[in-house]
Structure 1
Amino acid sequence: MAEEHPLVVAGDDTVLDEILRVAAAAGCEVDRAPDLHAARGRWARAPLVVLDEEAARLPNRLLRRNKVLLVCKGAPTPETWERAFNTGSEKVLSLPDEEGDLVGAFADVLEGPARDDGVVIGVIGGRGGAGASVLSAAIACRAARSGGGGLLVDCDPLGGGIDILLGAERDRGPRWPELDLGGRVSMTALSEALPRKRYATGSLSFVSHGREVLGPEPGAIEAVLSAGRRSGRTVVCDLPRQFGAETSAVVGLADLVVVVVPAELRACAAAKQVLERLEPQARRIGIAVRGPSASGLAPLEIASAVGAPLITSMGRERSLSMALDRGEFMVKHRGQLATAAADVLAAVRGNLAGASR
């Protein structure tokens, strides 16, 4: 049986063009009809019906159904509400002010009901050079390989680009400056557009900064994170240590923020300052200690000094730095970085499971 698309019934060409543009932004194909009479054969089967006021002028002799939206240009008038009632429309959307709601309606059709197993993880360095970007990439790769799906989001405009770390700087696909996002976005459409780092066992979608110091708007970051969470993905964000609106947007949405702290006294002091900035916004914070410690400080002592629970600790992998310089980011299945990534994923999943009980 052929897949049913949303049905757009519009008699005003200007409004029709606006509706089709919004549907395209959501990555959703639609069927079209000029009036209710022409829509008769598809009216009951379509997962969503979008009407304009011109089409709603005619008496609706079709069966009443759910998921009918009436779109108008500008503020609704009394006639608009009368037409909404007569056509059984459950909602009136005014363009352009409520364009985001229309995008969301098309995205719901495309993606189905939102899943409840998507998570957002923020990773930030307790001090510069702590290794937050590497751990972010390792967590996202681990999530991608586990079958649940991973999405790596570069939120550091001064980090040089997460695509270079992945060895994917030549891969085609938009970076932040080329991503034109407004309101809600479909993960299906986003996945088709984004570049992917491919592995033997799968691939990892990522959003990277380009070489220009041009960061995304907070709304664009929120749109990407929300799309990933709704689709059941593990969204991992590499955060900058500079606290701006973009960082706040991620921290406010994150299920867990991991602070990466090298096992040294000065790093503890720096990480404590980072923690003080995070605490008013973050729902949960954990520490990942990167050793070894020259003075013999244990991971639990580091976490206690910073003031947050220890999630994981890891030592240096000698071959990793050389591999990164060769553009060969690859997480060993049984290495310390892979174990740390697994610990973070277990921590965030365990936390969500506990919250649902």
Structure 2
Amino acid sequence: MHRPLLVCDDPDLLDEVVFLAADFALELDVAPGPEAARRRYPGAPLVLIGDGSAPACARARLPERPNVMLLSRSHGMDRLVALAEAIGADHIVRFPDGVRYLAGQLLRVSTDTAMVTAAQGRVLAVVGGRGGAGATVLAAGLAMTAGAAGLRSLLVDADPLGGGADLVLGWEDVAGLRWPALVGGRPAAPIDPPALDRALPSRGPVAVLSCDRNAPAGLPGEAMAAALEAGRRGRDLVVADLPRRLDEAAVLALRAGDRELLVVPAELRACVAAARVAATLTPHTDALHVVVRGPAPGKLRARHVARSLGLPVAGTLRAERSLPRRLERGAPPAAGGRGPLAALCRRILGDLGLKTGAAA
């Protein structure tokens, strides 16, 4: 469960805020500066930034998001207003006069945390080690496998140039909003989970938030953060299909993940390409695992691939000869619950603590 984030280099101010949060049995993630805070910044329910750390946060260009507050003991409003604008803060809290307001916000977060703890969904991020690695098929298979087990899942397409995750599911004709309609060219507002459920293409417990093949524009980071949070609150599982070249939205999805999967074909050239992709991912996560996909024409084994990348193995995917034919016919990956892909998806979800039942 994400905790409020306090970015502060003033020990006196830090102690005062930590003690205030303790009154509501609320633990804070504390960071002295923006780099230490960067990974936790998008998912925190509330971000508190001391005025001493604010200039560094502004220079670090942390992603835009709601629920950011500037904390200060100063009463020079012109300076504080400029700092608040620079870091995208919604409110300025001046001590000691603003303590009551801050206490109310901490109480709100504490109450919300207690309400959603049991219903907090898991987030998986999937990325290919090279083009055509099969990351989108695995991401769709994970969402479908969760749905077959009665879990509410959401497949989030974070690759505007990937052709559309709805196409992989065979749902291109299913009505519902895609990313362009959801974003609408406006700054992202908080997304209500039930409203999101009603708006997206879905069948049974599985929904998809897909890019549009006719409008392959980039995805705003703030829209991705809002969609992930809504999905996490309203779904048991969110699976994000990421591009190999990370943009702001993909980085947010990567950092929000409980686990990240790098799909690598068991080929020498694929391993070399995957090493370059892994190097761009690891600064943003410490939960990156590799999925090794067969066949292995050179007899390259999963342990060799994992050793070359310095990553743990989440699983191996044996070749499934009938899978390309089923996909061409519009059948979603792993929809039948049989075969190597379905078995791997059950294993990965089981490792996350999600119950998917025994193999059919």
Contact 2:292 2:302 in 1 (8 A): yes
* The one of 182, 185, 188 aligned to 1:182: 188
Contact 2:200 2:208 in 1 (8 A): yes
* The one of 323, 340, 352 aligned to 1:348: 352
Contact 2:168 2:327 in 1 (8 A): yes
Moved over 3 A (4+): 111-117
Contact 1:175 1:209 in 2 (8 A): yes
Over the residues paired in the alignment, what is the CA RMSD in angstroms?
A: 3.2
Q: Which whole-Å CA distance do the structure 1 matches of 2:298 and 2:253 have between them?
A: 35
* The one of 199, 207, 210 aligned to 1:208: 210
| Aligned-pair CA distance for 1:152 | 0.2
Q: Which whole-Å CA distance do the structure 2 matches of 1:113 and 1:344 have between them?
A: 24
Identity of aligned residues (%): 38
| Aligned-pair CA distance for 1:91 | 5.2
In structure 2, the residue matched to 1:303 is 306
Map 1:17-166 → 2, pairs under 5 A: 113-115=116-118, 117-166=120-169
Which amino acid is the alignment partner of residue 247 of structure 1? A
Secondary structure of 2:352's match? Answer: helix
Secondary structure of 2:205's match? Answer: strand
Q: 1:246 aligned to 2:237? A: no
* The one of 186, 195, 198 aligned to 2:201: 195
Larger radius of gyration: 1
In structure 1, the residue matched to 2:289 is 286
How many correspondences in the alignment? 256
Change (3 A) 1:345 1:279: same
Contact 1:288 1:310 in 2 (8 A): yes
| Aligned-pair CA distance for 1:182 | 2.0
In structure 2, the residue matched to 1:337 is 341
Q: Which whole-Å CA distance do the structure 2 matches of 1:192 and 1:144 have between them?
A: 17
Contact 1:254 1:283 in 2 (8 A): no
| Aligned-pair CA distance for 1:323 | 1.7
Deviates further, 115-124 or 206-215: 115-124
Deviations 1:11-58 (A, max 9, x none): xxxxxxxxxxxxxxxxxxxxxxxxxxxxxxxxxxxxxxxxxxxxxxxx
Structure 2: gaps of 5 or more residues? 1-89, 355-360
Secondary structure of 2:353's match? Answer: helix
Q: Which whole-Å CA distance do the structure 1 matches of 2:104 and 2:200 have between them?
A: 33
Q: Which whole-Å CA distance do the structure 1 matches of 2:179 and 2:234 have between them?
A: 21
Change (3 A) 1:75 1:326: closer
| Aligned-pair CA distance for 1:136 | 0.1
| Aligned-pair CA distance for 1:346 | 2.1
Deviations 1:206-242 (A, max 9, x none): 1000011113211111111111222352100010011
Give the TM-score normalised by structure 1.
0.65
Contact 2:129 2:262 in 1 (8 A): yes
| Aligned-pair CA distance for 1:144 | 1.7
Contact 2:153 2:235 in 1 (8 A): no
| Aligned-pair CA distance for 1:292 | 1.4
| Aligned-pair CA distance for 1:273 | 1.0
Q: Which whole-Å CA distance do the structure 2 matches of 1:233 and 1:251 have between them?
A: 18
